[in-house]
Structure 1
Amino acid sequence: MDERAGTPAQASDLVDVDALRRAYYDLKPDVSIPEQRVVFGTSGHRGSSLNTAFNENHIAATTQAIVEYRASQGIDGPLFIGADTHALSEFALTTALAVLVGNEVRVLVDEFDDWVPTPAVSHAIIAYNRADHSDQADGIVVTPSHNPPSDGGFKYNPPHGGPADTDATSWIANRANELIAEGMTGVRMSEPSAVETYDFRGRYVDDLENIIDVKAIKQSGIRIGADPLGGASVHYWAAIAERYELDLTVVNPEVDPAWGFMTLDWDGKIRMDPSSPSAMASVLAHKDEYDILTGNDADADRHGIVTPDGGLMNPNHYLAVAIDYLYRTRTGWRSDAAVGKTLVSSSIIDRVAESLGRRLWEVPVGFKWFVPGLIDGSVGFGGEESAGASFLRFDGSVWTTDKDGILLALLASEILAVTGKTPSQLYAELTEKFGDPVYERVDAPASPAEKAALAKLDGDAISATELAGEPITAKLSRAPGNDAALGGVKVETATAWFAARPSGTENVYKIYAESFAGADNLREVQEEAKRIVGDALSGA
């Protein structure tokens, strides 16, 4: 924890936006250098122009690759494109439009030249493809999500509306790097002078009444505060307040590409993470002024929930409350609609699902795994421990297949309006029934070779039979829900578990751990996890 975590950013902390712009256009990547290649992670390609990791050639080549990929898949409908408030997003959007127009792709941008949250792009793709069209739409979201102001991000959403799977992203990244290596000769660009427009905000906001009980929120008269954290949801919250006549205040409507109004995150960096107490410190100062106070990250795919009685909720705690509430109130959902969670989310969700008589669908890290179930209604709710989730409409049909932080923030107000209790109070009731787990993520050092070995490690390679004094009941390297590879391992006992996964950006591996036996037991689980993983890697 940095000593300045949670304190206001100072001038020395701020990125030079002009330098970002110059670097974006002036620096040319060399894809023989790994750090300068196009690389798609779980949420697209990310990097800073200052490090020659997110520059004009990256975006032009990636967009050209997307054009070629969609053509190879027979996708010839419109492409919806939106961008968040990061400085590099504006430059990348301009580049992408030039390539899309140069390739004669029908592209739709925001009608009001507004920023567009990730869930609004997913919503638009799904809405188009559910209508009676002979073609299919897809989309691009220009965002690095909650990353620092110096970063840019670029992700592709195919016709299902959610994050592209690795079969698509690998093809796109490889083709983009080829185009860069070939001197960009295969990239077609034109002046984006005339493109079609789409009312992302109006259509999204008007449709909310089909998934959130906005009438109950209005009638309750609860006071709501929504802080966009300088992100793309800023005008959406104002529109929601007006459209549904809610007592809703946009706590800080300021948009600043340097995010000078933020408090520093745990490591001393500016990061728009609504689940971080340090990043949300300025928001938490207002917690007693509202019945429900929420935050979103820059592209509004994550949520933070603040209550007067509990402060900022742990994302795992809120997911458990949301699941319990939704499956008790959404009578239009399929009776067999499963509860979706990632393997590193709290196991109190397992106990909630069992009490509801619902099947638990546990998948690897990455929201893309929830897409098929949300589309066909076989999964009612999909959530990640990193404060990202989405769920179905009242009638059991799909809403978004990408994370929706606006939706989950509004749900907190519905929960209070309908139950008369805050999500914090409801979580306390859940712990009385199911126990009070302690959860934490820590990092352990690992060489690149060890990280590669961990990603391929089989659960059977773990020789340990006990964890923190309890018999081990499962050693997983594939997800129970869909049998997909975890890219690591998860070890479980009756009251505790840990999961180990390699970091994609640092020479460490991440240990997620949880115990229902208290903080001391959690520490024991974490220490034994390092030994168990170390032993397995040494024998791999």
Structure 2
Amino acid sequence: MEQNILDKANEWLTPTFDQDTQDRIKNMLAHAPKELEESFYKNLEFGTGGMRGIMGVGTNRINKYTLGKNTQGLSDYLKKSFPNETLKVVIAYDCRHNSDTLAKVVADVFSANGIHVYLFSEMRPTPELSFALKHLNCHAGIVLTASHNPPEYNGYKVYWQDGGQLVPPQDGEIIERIESLKYEDIQFQANENLIEYIDAAIDAAFAKSTIENCSFNTPTLAKENLKIVYTSLHGTSIKAIPGVLAQAGYTDVNIVKEQETPNGDFPTVKSPNPEEPEALTMALALADNIEADIVIGTDPDSDRLGVAVRDTHGKMILLNGNQTMVIMTAFLLEQWKRAGKIDGKQFIGSTIVSTPMMLELASAYDVECKVGLTGFKWIAKFIKDFPELKFIGGGEESFGFMVGDAVRDKDAVGACLLVCEIAAQAKASGSTLYQELINLYVDHGFYKEHLISLTKKGMDGLKEIDQMMINLRENPVSEIDGQRVVCIEDYKNSTAKNMFTGEITPISIPKSNVLIYYLEDGSKICARPSGTEPKIKFYFSVNAPLNRAEDFETVSQELDVKIKNIIAAMQLN
């Protein structure tokens, strides 16, 4: 075992750490050296969606000390940034094991540093945290969640004054402060007078805001005629979505009872991720049993939304994140156009790994499409950086969407209401959500996407992922499936290279470990290590004209073959 790992472990055997922590480390030293290595070989890092990791002891684990150190560093940074202000933060947490106790630890550290804390009395959705931060005029916010990761994970997301997650330069400056601290610097002794519990009043304000932002004059009868199946997948959205739908006028909402109770073990699913069709098995079965129009499922902290609808044959199918994003964005653009609110000072948001069809929609409605790195913190940053422009909505391929700027993160509560509005209006007009998607493909081109995620766990997995990215950079391919590579964008080096001329141009988007290949026929291939999971992801986008709705299935099959051939050519299957 490397000496630096042993040195880190021995530090955790000092009186700074509680006896239980010390006993567990001694046990690993004696009986589980590999586990000790995995627990200490690195410090947990902030990624795309904050910090996530396996719960346990060690520097590479989520525990009271790693989160306490984060919170102490953030407290110091807040005092430096706002020296003459009464500091306020708000904290929320999800259904995961230890989320409530870890949230209290975080609250204790803030209060020990003289910072006023608003702490939700029970679990709440992540988007409500973003809303509450602005509603209560706080300086920062924390949510304890690991999103859709497995049960053994937890996490720590940090939000800033605008309601969005940390972005440069604050993130780097805060991390620098955290890394300069020693564990004995953490102030754990709470000032209970500075901790204020919040719940019903914020719930009501959040619901009111959601209904105002995501309702679009859908007739009452149309709402009542939409038959909805909804599952929280044992997560926090049960605290918000049923109430919001009821207040908005949707009366036929059928909850999957087996998944209604919050449970950090997520006992009925392999993964509580609505991106995975298996997660919605129970919901789809209920939908077929009662002949529902739409299925909606959310992840544990209620920022991701999965939607299933009936296809042209009446079969329930799960839409992917790009499809739901396109449907919702197009609907919002049309509503804004009809209301006469588009004057060239609006924008929609997307990410570099999401469907290029967002650019087509923006062009068709004469608005700008701002494209950033993966993660809604970058869309939130656009809202902050361009106050002269009004944000309509936007999303990313990983089942996230945001309507307007009341919430500055992906929001499954608002997106749920919006997609119900679209489905209800479509049904009332004799159409379906699926048919509306096909119509968009006819109008703007048929874009089809596919994702491959390769899981590589632990220290060895991280090295393997790093090597895969090195190989892609050092040995770039010039042709894939008979199509020449036109351009390679390397976001780590901030360059775009024209493969025909050799010309290199700078990329203005912040640096990130991402590579994108563009092919002659308009296909797009992206490689990116996940910022929150031990995975490397490959994103594929292909497209073709769709001249008639009747040709949808034929063209869809042709695009499937194209994706399959690209994957084979890259030897990823």
**TM more than 0.5:** yes
Q: Which residue of 1 aligns with 2:62?
A: 54
**Are 1:484 and 2:510 counterparts?**
yes
Question: Would the aligned equivalents of 1:48 and 1:150 in 2 still touch at CA under 8 Å?
Answer: yes
Cα distance in 1 for residues equivalent to 2:250 and 2:530: 42
Cα distance in 2 for residues equivalent to 1:507 and 1:42: 12
Question: Would the aligned equivalents of 2:117 and 2:194 in 1 still touch at CA under 8 Å?
Answer: no
Question: Would the aligned equivalents of 1:83 and 1:115 in 2 still touch at CA under 8 Å?
Answer: yes
Residues 186 and 138 (structure 1 numbering): CA distance in 2 closer, same or farther, change over 3 Å? closer
Aligned pair count reads 487
Q: Which residue of 2 aligns with 1:209?
A: 211
Match 1:356 to one of 365, 388, 413: 365
Match 1:472 to one of 463, 485, 488: 485
Q: What are the residue-to-residue correspondences of 1:88-237 with 2, within 5 Å?
A: 88-110=98-120, 113-129=121-137, 137-179=139-181, 182-190=182-190, 192=192, 195-198=195-198, 199-213=201-215, 216=218, 218-220=220-222, 221=224, 222-237=226-241
Q: Which residue of 1 aligns with 2:522?
A: 495
Question: Would the aligned equivalents of 1:458 and 1:476 in 2 still touch at CA under 8 Å?
Answer: no
Residues 368 and 462 (structure 1 numbering): CA distance in 2 closer, same or farther, change over 3 Å? farther
Residues 26 and 116 (structure 1 numbering): CA distance in 2 closer, same or farther, change over 3 Å? farther
Q: Which residue of 2 aligns with 1:521?
A: 562
The alpha-carbon deviation at position 236 of structure 1 amounts to: 1.0
Q: Which residue of 2 aligns with 1:5?
A: none
**Are 1:437 and 2:483 counterparts?**
no
Q: Which residue of 2 aligns with 1:285?
A: 285
Q: Which residue of 1 aligns with 2:547?
A: none
Residues 191 and 285 (structure 1 numbering): CA distance in 2 closer, same or farther, change over 3 Å? farther
Residues 148 and 195 (structure 1 numbering): CA distance in 2 closer, same or farther, change over 3 Å? same
The alpha-carbon deviation at position 514 of structure 1 amounts to: 2.3
Q: Which residue of 1 aligns with 2:7?
A: none
Cα distance in 2 for residues equivalent to 1:356 and 1:363: 20
Residues 46 and 444 (structure 1 numbering): CA distance in 2 closer, same or farther, change over 3 Å? closer
What SS does the aligned partner of 1:440 have? strand
Residues 333 and 139 (structure 1 numbering): CA distance in 2 closer, same or farther, change over 3 Å? farther
What's the TM-score, normalizing by structure 1? 0.80
**Are 1:407 and 2:414 counterparts?**
yes
The runs of 5 or more residues in structure 1 that have no matched partner are 1-21, 130-135, 265-270, 393-397, 532-540
What's the TM-score, normalizing by structure 2? 0.76
Question: Would the aligned equivalents of 2:298 and 2:305 in 1 still touch at CA under 8 Å?
Answer: yes
Residues 507 and 50 (structure 1 numbering): CA distance in 2 closer, same or farther, change over 3 Å? closer
**Are 1:511 and 2:538 counterparts?**
yes
**Are 1:240 and 2:244 counterparts?**
yes
Q: Which range is displaced more, 417-426 or 503-512?
A: 503-512
Please tell me the root mean square deviation across aligned C-alpha atoms, in Å: 3.3
Question: Would the aligned equivalents of 2:126 and 2:143 in 1 still touch at CA under 8 Å?
Answer: yes
The alpha-carbon deviation at position 240 of structure 1 amounts to: 1.5
The runs of 5 or more residues in structure 2 that have no matched partner are 1-18, 27-35, 497-506, 544-557
What SS does the aligned partner of 1:234 have? helix
Letter of the 2:256 counterpart: V
**Are 1:273 and 2:273 counterparts?**
yes
Cα distance in 2 for residues equivalent to 1:246 and 1:35: 51
Cα distance in 2 for residues equivalent to 1:371 and 1:35: 33
What SS does the aligned partner of 2:350 have? strand
Identity, in percent, stands at 21
The alpha-carbon deviation at position 380 of structure 1 amounts to: 2.5
The alpha-carbon deviation at position 246 of structure 1 amounts to: 2.4
Question: Would the aligned equivalents of 1:457 and 1:477 in 2 still touch at CA under 8 Å?
Answer: no
Question: Would the aligned equivalents of 1:140 and 1:155 in 2 still touch at CA under 8 Å?
Answer: yes
Q: Which has the higher contact order (CA 8 A, sep 6+)?
A: 1
Larger radius of gyration: 2
The alpha-carbon deviation at position 205 of structure 1 amounts to: 0.2
